[in-house]
Amino acid sequence: MTVRIHVGAHKTASTELQYAIRSVRNELAGQGLGFLGPSALRSQRLPLSRAIRGDQNLAAEPLRAKLRYWLSSHEDHLISEENILGTTSRGEMFGGDDVLYPGAEDRLARTLELLGKPEVELFLAIRDPATFVTSAYGQQLRSGALVDVSTYVRGVKVRSLDWTGLIERLLGCEGVSRVVCWRLEDHTQVRGRVLARLLGPERAALVPPATLRHRGVSEKAYRYFMKTALEDMETPVQTLLRDAQKRHPRLEGEPSMRLLHHRTYRSSLVNYDAQAGRIAGMERVEFLRPQNPPVPPV
């Protein structure tokens, strides 16, 4: 039996992978692989997300029984849920000393306990911290949280947010055998290899090509949204943001909003490259990089 858990992170094309895999979940089940994604794990029938947040009104035993029955029903298993790490809210995203997802290891440990503490492989995509934070902030706006970006990142050294430390903490959880990691910036080039590692090569061939999900908020849309949000105190935030995105959509190839200081984006990228190098050299980490095309003979 294999158990693989894709934990995101948020804003790293997780939705694209989940959508594509879910579209062939019946075919995958026919080949012995069970799949649970966010639509199942955030539902009333299988409320994993609530359970690992410590919801005191939720009885754990029925959920535990359902998850273990699911494990017994398939040979191989894939869970994909970025909220195992936390959410994009400020308190769950940032901790002291530039920690990312400060509660991640506790939430993962609760997940593994509910599953019966199997041995698992974790799958995690990382992203340049500055663009990651900007995109996570956009997710908060879409959820209806009206907060300015300076408040969202107050006290956080964005350029120093630490993916390396997050992976070390996840590897420290009992039952985690390995972390398979890749960069969002390489998603297009490594998507096929990610799917092959998640599903197996034959099953990966069933998954349809990538489709773009969550285009993000354009710079013009954000500026329009903030202006209207200050003038209109009655319309829900989500409605104002949707209207702004409709008026100023982010077109394919267009950069998303850049709300931090330009020096933050520059220094973040430098630190991120260094972090990726360190992560690639860590024990029990498999780092997926784009494969160089073969050099033609001279």
* Domain boundaries defined on the chain: 2-144+159-213+269-288
List CB contacts of 261: < 8 A, sequence separation 6 or more: none
Q: Looking at residue 230, what is its pLDDT?
A: 82
Which helix or strand (DSSP H or E) is residue 183 part of? strand 176-183
Say what the pLDDT of residue 211 is: 81
* Contact by Cβ (8 Å): 92, 103: yes
Evaluate whether the domain defined by 2-144+159-213+269-288 bears CATH number 3.40.50.
yes
In the prediction, which pLDDT does 256 show? 76
Q: Which strands form 285-288's sheet, in the order they lie side by side?
A: 33-36, 76-80, 2-6, 120-126, 176-183, 285-288
**Separation CA 286–CA 167 (nearest Å):** 12
Q: How far apart (Å, rounded) are the C-alpha atoms in residues 107 and 129? A: 22
Query: Are the beta carbons of 287 and 279 closer than 8 angstroms?
Result: yes
Please list the rounded mean pLDDT of every run of 10 residues in the chain (298 residues). 97 95 97 97 94 85 95 97 96 95 97 97 98 92 86 94 97 98 97 98 96 76 87 89 90 80 96 97 97 58
- pTM reported for the whole predicted model: 0.92
**What is the DSSP secondary structure assignment for residue 57, as one 8-state letter?**
T
Q: In sequence order, what are the beta bridge partners of 80? A: 6
Is residue 43 helix, strand or coil?
coil
